[in-house]
Amino acid sequence: MSFGVASAVPSITSETELRARLSGLSGVDAVGLEARCAKLATRSLKKATKLTAIDLAISMVDLTTLEGADTPERVRSLCAKALRPDPRDLTVPSVAAVCVYPDLVAHARTVLGDSSVAVASVATAFPSGRASMAVKLLDVADAVDAGAHEIDMVIDRGAFLSGRLGHVFEEIVAVKETCGAAHLKVILETGELVTYDNIRRASWLAMLAGADFIKTSTGKVSVNATPQAALVMLEAARDFAEATGQLVGVKVAGGVRTTKDALRYLVLVNETAGSAWLTPERFRFGASSLLNDLLMQRLKQRRGSYVRADEFSGD
Amino acid sequence: MCEQTSSVVTDLNGDGRSLSQLGSLEYDPAPESVAVAHVRPSYGLFIDGVFTEPSAHEQFVTLNPANEEVLATVARASSNDVDHAVRVARRAYENVWSKTSGAERAKYLFRIARLIQERARELAVIETLDNGKPIRESRDIDIPLAAAHFFYYAGWADKLGHAGFGPEPQPIGVAGQIIPWNFPLLMAAWKLAPALAAGNTCVLKPAETTSLSALVLAEILQQAELPPGVANIVTGDGATGSDLVDHPGVDKIAFTGSTEVGRGIQQRVASSHKRLTLELGGKGANIVFDDAPIDEMIEGIIDGIFFNQGHVCCAGSRLLVQETVADEVLRRLVRRMEQLRVGDPMDKNTDVGAINSAAQLARIEELTSYGESEGATRYTSSCTLPDKGYWFAPTVFANVAQSHRIARDEIFGPVLSVLTFRTPEEAVVKANNTNYGLACGVWSEKGSRALWVAQRLRAGVIWANTYNRFDPSSPFGGVRESGFGREGGRHGLEAYLNV
């Protein structure tokens, strides 16, 4: 029996090659996948494990504000929260990143400076992705120029669903090039891809095209991150690492609001992809209200009783 | 003995350093409370609606197989006790139950189902303590399914005329029911629910090592105010079972257990008026084609053989994998096996619990030893086993040949034999090359292939792209040396009706 692996991402030179590669992937059995998720959801994290997992989850949060009503002031207060989620307890880790629209990247950078908290920006005509390639690339360049460390792009779901896989691939390659040193997260918008087979194929497509992260959702459609979609993506990241040696991160976004949800995702990571993904380098939660619930549960674990929601700032 | 395997996603440098350790986030113990089981120091026989002392005053101990501690003492029913129970059941049949309307019988069955749900946590804990299975399984599978069987057959009780067995099918009389130790409460439900729904009265004998949940069920029968004598529970060993099989007052024997014992029962009832259904052993083939959904298929193989420590008559204990994907499947399978959490059955995160008894452990160890001596390649989980109790680490044998004993004998433990095939025809021939015929699995994304294979497999149950799925509405049972008769579904009524 061999545990040997290949050690490079295969170069894809044509749409035919890409299509062959993706259609060669194993199918996903929906019933089995959902049963696996349900079983893992019964894992019981107690005591020290729970505290470790809560701190890990806090360190994995991309604290996000993506509203039309966002202002520099709003971003400034969010950044303060990101740096010190609970200012009275400095053992609480900072979050991984603050995620904003491109025009607010500079404001975020002003507060965060060269701290450990990265600035992530959505781009490529987020959330729909319905713009020309030129516009999308300008959007990316704009965010990168303003100092974004990470770019969260959306794929062209229309192109994917109509079978123009080469187009989706080329867009990701071009965005990656425009990103330069910035890390690229590729949003699949799993709620619009609908089937697990599609999610698996889109995950591989994005990874083959050079994604540093694959991300479930924009948070702007009716179905956002689900444990099932995350499980398919974690399996894809694990198998991709095995085939190529490249470790691609996974980000779940939208609808993750409670500590219970977050811990269930960490169980999926733990039992599917393993330790290499149990780090903010390779797993993220795109969320806003999740952070306060994590802080609340953290304090509850330590004190033994719950505190009022107003104990924490409402950012 | 144990071959060490590393549960790593990949080893990039080839120097043995793991890149990603699966399950590296250690889970602190999350034990379910033992106290909720309310285990009593000793249990009597349940005859005529009350707990009674055995006539010979004999008791035996029942152990927690996870730590070998004594849980309680249980009454050993003598021949006299069995005779008493059968007479009581006969009287209840003649005077009460055969005159009770279907709607009225349903009422009791619905009550029993609801009471099982109400006392589900207690039942789950007592099942895990007595059997050694993980609390997750007794909580999420055994107990809910037991309740579901009572609910399901409660629904049939007043509709027997529409079950396809004639306008007014009649019950058989007194049923003697002998159940195994692998799913103690669930097997009791499989036996009692259809029998009572059809209008029979019962004498049930639980397995010697796992009597407790049946005795809690006896309390539930009392709570449900089931008329005395309609269902009786006599505890004991093989001798008690023999007494029940041989008793002339019994009209029907339903037995679930080993093929060896089942064969003996069939011989003994052959010259009597008794009807018989047998649900016996198996050596289920799980057939994997190269287009199977790989992640779910791996889970299905794992579930097929390691669910309930492999103490499952329909376990997928032979894996037949298409040669083109054999290496890939084996690699993933061993990696996944290594991840199984083996240990304290009361821990909510445990995947694989204790072997039910010292005798069963010895049998598993003996049969497994043939695997190596006959030339198969052994992979055993490197998990740490507890010092006390009966334990066997999950094991996979590769390079198994059809002629090996581990490919032919039912091990009834967490041991999988992996064989390969080249074509669908060969898969079918190999799958059918067994004396058993209880269950098989087929894994393929191609529906027509799955159906083609399923039609040619000689087994009572065929699962496609899943394994070990149970539902009260679905009939279950075997062919050939796996027995005859069906339990579950409309078919399950036939075993308890005079048709």
Are B23 and A270 a contacting pair at CB < 8 A?
A: yes
Any A CB within 8 A of B16 CB: no
Q: Is the peptide bond before B227 cis (omega within 30 degrees of 0)?
A: no
DSSP A25: S
Tokens of B200: 């029979």
Whether A24 contacts chain B with CB within 8 A:
no
- Give the pairing of strands B483-484 and B275-279: antiparallel
Which residue has 């350093």 as its token pair? B17
Q: Does A236 touch chain B (CB under 8 A)?
A: no
- The 3-state secondary structure of chain B, one letter per residue: CCCCCCCECCCCCCCCCCCCECCCCCCCCCECCCHHHCCCCEECEEECCEEECCCCCCEEEEEECCCCEEEEEEECCCHHHHHHHHHHHHHHHHHCHHHCCHHHHHHHHHHHHHHHHHCHHHHHHHHHHHHCCCHHHHHHHHHHHHHHHHHHHHHHCCCHHHCCCCCCCCECCEEEEECCCCCHHHHHHHHHHHHHHCCCEEEEECCCCCCHHHHHHHHHHHHCCCCCCCEEECCCCHHHHHHHHHCCCCCEEEEECCHHHHHHHHHHHCCCCCEEEEECCCCCEEEECCCCCHHHHHHHHHHHHHHHHHCCCCCCCEEEEEHHHHHHHHHHHHHHHHHCCECCCCECCCCECCCCCHHHHHHHHHHHHHHHHCCCEEEECCCCCCCCCCCCCCEEEECCCCCCHHHHCCCCCCEEEEEEECCHHHHHHHHHCCCCCCEEEEECCCHHHHHHHHHHCCCCEEEECCCCCCCCCCCECCCHHHEECCECCCHHHHCCECC
pLDDT in tens, B347-362: 999 999 999 999 999 9
- Say which amino acid occupies B70: V
- Per-residue pLDDT tens over the stretch B202-250: 999 999 999 999 999 999 999 999 999 999 999 999 999 999 999 999 9
Packing angle of the helix pair A105-112, A72-83 (nearest 10 deg): 40
Which residues from chain A sit within 8 angstroms of residue B12, using beta carbons?
Answer: 5, 7, 245
- pLDDT (average), residues A234-244: 96
Specify the pLDDT at position B4.
35
**pLDDT confidence band for B21 (50 / 70 / 90):** confident
**B315 contacts chain A (CB < 8 A):** no
Residue B105: pLDDT band with limits 50, 70, 90: very high
Closest CA to B260 of B133, B394, B403, B409: B409
Contact check, Cβ <8 Å, B398/A46: no
* A314 vs B487: which has the higher pLDDT: B487
Chain A residues within an 8 Å CB radius of B294 = 26
- pLDDT tens-digit readout, B62-98: 999 999 999 999 999 999 999 999 999 999 999 999 9
Mutate which of B8, B295, B298, B471 to test chain A, going by most A C-beta atoms within 10 A? B295
Residue A248 confidence (pLDDT) above 70? yes
pLDDT one-digit tens code per residue, A178-226:
999 999 999 999 999 999 999 999 999 999 999 999 999 999 999 999 9
What's the CA gap between A202 and A204, in Å, rounded?
5
Dihedral (CA of B74, B80, B82, B87) sign = negative
Q: How many CB atoms sit inside 10 A of residue B225's CB?
A: 11
Contact yes or no for B242/B267 (Cβ under 8 A): no
Residue B19: what pLDDT? 66
* pLDDT of B11 over the 50 cut: no
* pLDDT band at B15; cut points 50, 70, 90: very low
The model's pLDDT over A277-305, given as tens digits with 9 standing for 90+, comes to 999 999 999 999 999 999 999 999 999 99
What strands lie across the sheet with B252-256, from one edge to the other?
A: B50-52, B45-47, B231-233, B201-205, B174-178, B252-256, B275-279, B483-484
**B110 exposed, middle or buried (CB, 10 Å; 0-12, 13-18, 19+)?**
middle
* Mean pLDDT, chain A, integer: 95
d(CA B121, CA B139): 7
- Cβ-based contacts under 8 A for chains A and B: 124
Which residues are CB-contacts of A38 (< 8 A; sequence separation ≥ 6)? none
- A154: closest CA of chain B, how far (Å): 27
State ipTM: 0.94
How close A44 comes to chain B (CA, Å)? Answer: 6
- Give the model confidence (pLDDT) of B110-159 as tens digits: 999 999 999 999 999 999 999 999 999 999 999 999 999 999 999 999 99
Contact A271, B20 (CB under 8 A): no
Nearest to A276 among B6, B9, B136 (CB): B9
Under a CB-based contact definition with an 8 Å cutoff, are residues A19 and A165 in contact?
yes
A1 interfacial to chain B (CB closer than 8 Å): yes
Q: Which residues of B are catalytically annotated? A: 279, 313
Work out the minimum CA distance from B183 to partner chain A, whole angstroms. Answer: 20
- B70 burial (CB, 10 Å; 0-12 / 13-18 / 19+) is exposed
Position B9 scores a pLDDT of 53
Tell me, yes or no, if B327 comes closer than 8 A to chain A by beta carbon: yes
Could you tell me where the DSSP H helices lie in A84-216?
A: 105-112, 133-145, 157-161, 165-179, 190-193, 196-208
* Mean pLDDT for chain B overall: 95
Hunting for tokens 């444990």 — which residue is that?
A227
Distance between CA atoms of A121 and A141, rounded to whole angstroms? 11
d(CA A224, CA A228): 11
A235 touches chain B (CB under 8 A): yes
| Residue B23, pLDDT score | 80
Percentage of chain B beyond pLDDT 90 is 94
CA–CA min distance B173, chain A (Å): 41
The first and second tokens of residue A126, run together, are 């987020």
| Pairwise CA distance, residues A75 & A92, whole Å | 21
Q: What is the pLDDT of residues B155-202, one digit of tens each?
A: 999 999 999 999 999 999 999 999 999 999 999 999 999 999 999 999
A27/B293 Cβ within 8 A: yes
pLDDT at B33 over 80: yes
Give the HSE-up count for residue B419: Cα atoms under 13 Å, Cβ half-sphere: 27
Asked if B12 and A266 come within 8 Å (Cβ–Cβ), the reply is no
> Do A188 and A206 contact (CB within 8 A), yes or no?
yes
Q: Are B66 and B344 in contact (CB under 8 A)?
A: yes
Three state DSSP letters for B219-279? HHHHHCCCCCCCEEECCCCHHHHHHHHHCCCCCEEEEECCHHHHHHHHHHHCCCCCEEEEE
| Residues forming a β-bridge with A152 | A122, A185
A215 noted as active-site residue: yes
Confidence of residue A33 (pLDDT cuts 50, 70, 90): very high
pLDDT in tens, B361-417: 999 999 999 999 999 999 999 999 999 999 999 999 999 999 999 999 999 999 999
Cβ–Cβ contact A271 with B under 8 A: yes
**pLDDT confidence of B12, banded at 50, 70, 90?**
very low
Do A32 and B296 count as a contact with CB atoms less than 8 A apart? yes
Report the percentage of chain B scoring pLDDT > 70: 96
The span from the CA of B391 to the CA of B369, in Å, is: 15
Residue of B351, B358, B347 lying closest to B208 (CA atoms) = B358
Quick one: which H or E segment has residue A18? helix A15-23
- Using CA atoms, how far apart are residues A173 and B498, in angstroms rounded to an integer? 73
Chain A residues 179-218 with a CB less than 8 Å from chain B: none
pTM: 0.95
Q: Which residue of A has its CA nearest to B291?
A: A26
> Considering only alpha carbons, which residue of chain B is nearest residue A266?
B25
Q: Check residue A9 and give its pLDDT.
A: 80
How far does the CA of residue B350 sit from the closest CA of chain A (Å)?
Answer: 9
